[in-house]
Structure 1
C-alpha cells in the first residue's frame, strides 16, 4: 500500500484528547522546514508558525482507507457539520488502531471549518441505505449518527518517520502555547 502521508506530528493523539484545553493550538498546513527539533509550518491562513518539538516527539502518518474498512466495534474520530435535515455529515473520518481505542472519546467543537464538531467514539452500527451512516457511542452511552458522503476522506493510522517530513508535506500539529507565545509540541 502506498502511504499518502498526512503527517500527524507528536501531539495528534493529545490533540483529540485535549481539544477543549484553551492553551492547545491545532495547526493545519504544510511543512516549510524541519531542523532538529524545530518545525516550521505554513498554516492555511498563510502564516508560518515555528513549533519546538519536545526531545521525545513522535510522528504518525495516515493512509487512505475506505468505508468498507469501518466495522462495528472500531473506534473512529469523525469531523462533521450539521446538515439541513438536522443530522450530521462527515467532513473526514479517522480509523484509530485498537490500541488507541478511547482516545479523546466524546463530542466537541472542532476547527476544521466553521461550526464543525469532532466526535470520537465506538462504532455501534454501520448502515448503507441511501448512503453510508455510522452510529458512534461515547461517554456514558451517548450516541450520534453521522452520514459519510462518498467524497469524505477516510484514513487510518500508518507508520511514519521524521525523514517523511519534507517541505510541502501536509501536516496536522497539536501544540501548546507556552510562555511568550512559543508553540511546543509534546505528548
Structure 2
C-alpha cells in the first residue's frame, strides 16, 4: 500500500510543479499595452514606426477602418457649463483632484467613455469623462463640478493645465515627427494593429 500511494502522489507533484512554473512564467510577462504614446519615426505603407515616450519601438499596422483624430490646443475659457470633457487628475496636497490635462469632446463624441476610472498617464492618476455642471473661477484656477452617470467630482484646473480638443484629421497627418497616442490591439501573430490614432497638430504633444 505505501508503494502504491507513492506512485500516485509522484505524478501529482509533477503536475503541481509544472502548473506553478507556468503561472509564474505568465506572471512575469509584461502586460500587453492598450495604447502607445510616442513619436512617429517613419511611415512605410500601412505600418507606423513609433518610439514610445519610454523609449520602446513599436511597429503598428494601420487597419483600413482605422480612425484618425487631431488634437489641438484651446483656451481654459472654452470649457463651458454643459461641455462634455475628459480630465486626467491626480490627488492634490489638500485631497482635491488636480487636473493634469483636460480635453473637450466635440458634440459627436459626447458620452465617450463616460465615468471615472484609474488611468495610466501618471502614478495614481484618474480619467474622468463627464459633463461640466458648474464652473467656479478664482484668481489662479477654475474649479469644475463634473457629473457622470455614477456620480460627480470636483476638478481643479490651473491656468497652466493643458486644455485641448479633438478636430477632424486623416492619415496625411501621420508623418515622421508627429506626436501620437495610438490605441492598439495585439494580433494572433504577435503584431500590433492600430484601430485609432490621436495625433497632435502643429507639433503639439497630446497631453493625455
Match of 1:134 among 144, 163, 170: 144
Q: How does 1:138-177 map to 2 (within 5 A)?
A: 138-140=148-150, 142-177=151-186
Any unmatched runs of 5+ in structure 2?
1-30, 197-208
Higher helix share: 2
Q: How does 1:13-24 map to 2 (within 5 A)?
A: none
Match of 2:58 among 46, 49, 53: 49
Any unmatched runs of 5+ in structure 1?
1-21
Once the two structures are TM-superposed, the CA of residue 159 in structure 1 deviates from its matched residue by 2.2
**TM value normalised by structure 1:** 0.83
CA RMSD of aligned residues (A): 1.5
Distance 2:175 2:101 in 1: 24
Indicate the structure whose relative CO is greater, using CA pairs within 8 Å and at least 6 residues apart: 1
- Residue-by-residue CA offset, 1:113-151 (whole Å, 9 max, x unaligned): 1111100001111111242111111123x0010101111
Match of 1:123 among 128, 132, 136: 132
Match of 1:95 among 101, 104, 108: 104
**Hey, which bits of structure 1, 4+ residues long, moved more than 6 A?**
none
Distance 2:62 2:172 in 1: 15
Look at both structures and tell me which one has the larger radius of gyration over its CA atoms: 2
Q: Secondary structure at 2:34's aligned position in 1?
A: strand
Match of 1:36 among 22, 33, 45: 45
**TM value normalised by structure 2:** 0.75
Once the two structures are TM-superposed, the CA of residue 92 in structure 1 deviates from its matched residue by 0.8
- Size of the alignment, in residue pairs? 165
